[in-house]
Amino acid sequence: MEKLKNNLISLGLYEKALPDNLDWEERLSLAFMAGYNFMEISIDETDERIERLSWDKIKIRKLREITEEVQIPLLTMCLSANRRFPIGSNYLNIQNRGVQILESAIRFASFLGIRIIQVAGYDVLMNEETSTEKSKQAFFINLKKSVELASQSGIMLAIENVDVNFGNSLDKLMYFIKKIKSPWLQLYPDIGNLTAMKQDVLKQLNSGKNRIVAVHAKDTLDGVVRRVPFGKGIVDFVSAFKVLKNNNFSGPVLLEMWFDDKKDNFEIVKNSGKWVFDKIKQAGY
């Protein structure tokens, strides 16, 4: 089994790339067998995954023990629950719930040993609210408070560029990083999202130079950000990773993909990792 890592880059797998009906030992073991070095846990918009943040310490400790036995840490967290509960929402009940989720995620991460929480770049409810200066300010205030909480536990918050105008580029997200001025707030770029949103990917990666702590790798098409097989989209992985290499990025790269029960999922997961890692090596890593 060839591990998908070298002295600069370590490849990890998104939890949702594998079936939901697996227990954690099975899920992590499959990632290990496919050559991955870590897994990203999902706290998405569903009540079931948000409920994880309410686990007691015994349940969290059990999961941590499983990661140690299988030798696949849960290194990062994808906190997409704030898409449903954005921390800048004009609906105060939604905004407050979003802040509560983010704060609970920080505590959960500190108990489980997660290093990086990916914060989604949404200030308001997608397709239901309009982003305004007021919502942008609320996002800033609540993010700043959360960064202060995260810093106490040594947890990194890293903002991901998404599929709405508010947070569709790294230079827009850099506004908050420069304003908050904390080493505990950085960037977690998704090069697939940048491509799908027709951003200048190389320019955007340069705009986040020295602020990128992890990278999401997925293939996309114009306006299509999910379930595009690697090699079937338009993302120029080699050029993107060349920029990252020139900017001295080294660290976790997360393969973001989703389980497909109509295909041989394990082979897809294994071969996708090899395919992406080959692109990374072509870029000079």
Over residues 232-285, the pLDDT tens digits come to 999 999 999 999 999 999 999 999 999 988 788 999 999 999 999 999 999 999
Residue with token string 């309410």:
54
Predicted confidence at residue 263, as pLDDT, reads 80
Predicted confidence at residue 264, as pLDDT, reads 87
Domain 9-282: which CATH number of 3.20.20.150, 3.40.50.300, 3.90.1150.10, 3.40.50.970: 3.20.20.150
pTM of the model: 0.96
Alpha-carbon gap, residue 62 to 250, rounded angstroms: 30
Average pLDDT, the chain: 97
Predicted confidence at residue 177, as pLDDT, reads 98
Averaged pLDDT, 202-225? 97
Averaged pLDDT, 90-108? 98
110: pLDDT strictly greater than 80: yes
Alpha-carbon gap, residue 112 to 57, rounded angstroms: 9
Domain layout of the chain by residue ranges: 9-282
User: What is the phi-psi region of residue 5: left when phi exceeds 0, alpha when psi lies from -120 to 50, beta otherwise?
Assistant: beta
Averaged pLDDT, 125-145? 97
Residue 51, Cβ density class (10 Å: 0-12 exposed, 13-18 middle, ≥19 buried): exposed
pLDDT > 90 in the chain, percent: 97
pLDDT tens digit sequence for 147-178: 999 999 999 999 999 999 999 999 999 999 99
Contact 164, 196 (CB under 8 A): no
Q: Is 144 helix (H, G, I), strand (E, B) or coil?
A: helix
16: pLDDT strictly greater than 80: yes
